[in-house]
Structure 1
Amino acid sequence: MPVLVGLIGLAWLLAIVAELTGKVQWVHHHQLVVDDMALWFSLILFLLAWQLHIAAMMLPSALPMVGLFRQAAAGQPNPGLVQACFLGGYLVVWTLFGVLALLADTLLGASASSWHWLMHRPEWLMGGALLLAGGFQFTSLKSRCLDKCRQPRAFLLAHYRRGLGGATALGVRHGMFCVGCCWALMLVMFVVGIANLAWMAPLAALMIYEKVGRHGERVVRPAGVGLLLLGLFFILGPGWMSAPSHMH
C-alpha cells in the first residue's frame, strides 16, 4: 500500500511539474497519428502517459479493494506475486480501454478533417463529450457498477479465488466494473487532453468521491446535471466559453 500511495503521489507530481515547466507533451500524449513520429513510437508514448493517468485518477479509488485483497492474499504462497497479478489484471483492463479510446479518437479526428464545419467548432466536440458523460450519470449501468465498487468487501467475498490465475481474474473483474463506472468521464479527458490539470483534478475528485466518499451516491446525479449544463454551455455559447486550447 505505501508503494501504491507513493506511485499515486508521483503521478500527480509529474503531471503538475510537466504543466508548470511547459513539458506537458511528455505526459499529455493522446494522439496515435503524429507528424514526423513513427506509429509504434507514438503508441508507446501514449501507453506510458496513460499509465501515469491511471495511477493518478484510478488507483486512488481502488485502494480500499487493494487493501482488502492484500489481507486476504497474505496467507497464500508468494503473496507479493499474487498481489502483482491482481493489480496487473486491473491495469490491463484500463490499458485496453485507453487503446480503444485512442483508436476511436483517431478515427473521429480523421472524420472531422473532412467535416469543415466541425473543425471550426471544436466546442461542439467538447460539448458532446460532456453531454455523454452527464447523461451516463443517470443510467442503471452506472449505478450497478458503482454499487460493486462501493462494496469491496462483498465483492471480494463473492469472487476471491486463490492462486495467480484467481488474482488476475479478480483484478480484471474489478477493473471492468471500474471502467463501467468511469468510462464516460474518462472520454472527456481524451477530448481535453489526458494530462490537462484543469480538467484532470475535478474529474478525478468526482470519480474518487463517487466510489469511496461517505455520500458518494448523492453526488452522482447532481454531477450529471452539472455536466449536462456545461456541455450545453460549450455548444450554445461558443462566443464566451471556448474549448480547451489544444483543440483549436
Structure 2
Amino acid sequence: MQLLHITAPAPVRPPASPLRRDVMVAWSLMVLIAALAWVLTVGQARGMGVGPGTMGLALPLFLLLWLTMMVAMMFPSVAPVALTWARSIGRGSSGAARAVRTTEFVGGYLLVWSAFGLVAYGLLTLTGEAVRDHPGAGRWIGAGVFVLAGLQQLGPLKRVCLRHCRSPMLQLLQYARFRPWLRDLRVGAHHGLYCLGCCWGLMIVLIPLGVMNVAAMAGLAAVIFLEKLWRYGPWLTRAVGVTFLVLGVLAPFQHWLLPGLAADEPSMGPMGPM
C-alpha cells in the first residue's frame, strides 16, 4: 500500500508595510551618510595631522569640518531615536512627508551641535594661543580638561541626559504635544540638547588629544554609541570617567597624552597652509 506524503504549504509572510520599508530605507541612508562623513573626515585629517588649537582653520571652514565630524560620530547613536520618531509620526502620512519630517528632526539635532562648534572653536583658539605663547601651559590645560571631562562623566547631569538618550520613548510621546509649527525641527533640537548634555565632556577631550585625531574620534564615537545602546552603558560611563581622572593626574608628566597641545609648525594639507 502506497502512502501519500502531504507536505504542508510554507507559510506566506505578509509583505512589509510601507512604513517599515521607509524606516529601513531611512536607517540605511543614515548609516551611509555616517560612513561617507567618516571617509571625508579621515581624508582631511590625513592632510592636516594633529596640532594645537584650530590649526589655523577659519571659522566657516572649521564649522563645516566640525559638522562633518558630528555626523560621523553621532549618527550611529542618534539613528534609533530619529527612526523611532519617524515611526511615531509615520502612521497616516505619506513616505515623502515622513522623509521631510525626519530630515527636520536630524536638522534640529545637528543645529545644536553646530552651535556647540562655535564654543569649541573659541576654546581651541584660546588653548592654541596659550600653547604658542607658553608651551609649558599645555600640560596643565590638558590635565584640567581630562579632570573636567571625568567629573562630567560621573556627575548628575550626565546621568539625567544619558537616561533620556537610552530611553527616549516617554519624551518622544511628550513631544507630540508640541505645536505643529516646525515641530520636528524643535524636537530634534530638544533631543540634541540632551545629547549635548550627555556628551560634551567626551568632546572636550579632543582639546588635548587633537581635534583632528582620527583614532581619538573613533574611540569617542564607540564610547558614545555603547553608552546609549549597550545594556552596560552606564557602567562604561563610570569607567570612562575614572579613566579621564587618571589621565588628568598623569597628563602633566606624560607629554605623549597631549598631542593636541604640542606646539609645532603649521601643517600643509590639501587646502594649503593651515
User: What TM-score bracket applies, with the shorter chain setting the length?
Assistant: 0.7 to 0.9
Q: Kindly indicate whether residue 82 of structure 2 is the aligned counterpart of residue 82 of structure 1.
A: no
In the aligned structure 1, how far is the partner of 2:150 from the partner of 2:210? 18
Indicate how the Cα distance of structure 1 residues 123 and 198 shifts in structure 2: closer, same or farther if over 3 A, else same: farther
1:30: how far off? 6.3
1:162: how far off? 6.8
Q: Kindly indicate whether residue 23 of structure 2 is the aligned counterpart of residue 3 of structure 1.
A: no
In the aligned structure 1, how far is the partner of 2:80 from the partner of 2:129? 41
Match of 2:253 in 1: 236
Pick one of 54, 60, 70 that aligns with 1:31.
Answer: 54
Structure with greater contact order relative to length (CA < 8 Å, sep ≥ 6)? 2
TM-score (norm 2): 0.76
Q: Kindly indicate whether residue 84 of structure 2 is the aligned counterpart of residue 68 of structure 1.
A: yes
TM-score (norm 1): 0.84
Give the AA of the match of 1:16. V
Indicate how the Cα distance of structure 1 residues 225 and 242 shifts in structure 2: closer, same or farther if over 3 A, else same: closer
1:112: how far off? 5.3
Query: Within 5 Å, which residues of 2 pair with 1:100-139?
Result: 100-111=119-130, 116=134, 119-139=135-155
Pick one of 107, 114, 125 that aligns with 1:95.
Answer: 114
1:236: how far off? 3.3
Are the equivalent residues in 1 in contact too, given 2:164–2:194 (CA < 8 A)? yes
Q: CA RMSD in A?
A: 2.5
Pick one of 135, 155, 159 that aligns with 2:171.
Answer: 155
Query: Identity across aligned pairs (percent)?
Result: 34
For this pair of structures, how many residues does the alignment match? 233
Are the equivalent residues in 2 in contact too, given 1:53–1:195 (CA < 8 A)? no
Pick one of 186, 193, 215 that aligns with 1:169.
Answer: 186
- The alignment partner of 2:211 has SS state of coil
| Larger helix proportion of the pair | 1
1:23: how far off? 1.7
Pick one of 205, 208, 212 that aligns with 2:222.
Answer: 205
Instruction: Provide Cα deviations, 1:64-83, integer angstroms capped at 9, x if missing partner.
Output: 10110111222346222211
The list of structure 1 runs, each at least 4 consecutive aligned residues, that deviate by more than 4 angstroms after superposition, is 27-30, 111-114
1:107: how far off? 3.2
Question: Structure 2: where are the runs of 5+ without partners?
Answer: 1-26, 264-274
1:31: how far off? 2.1
1:101: how far off? 1.8
Match of 1:13 in 2: 39
Instruction: Provide Cα deviations, 1:13-63, integer angstroms capped at 9, x if missing partner.
Output: 2333445xx3246x999628x3xx7xxxx1221111111111111111111
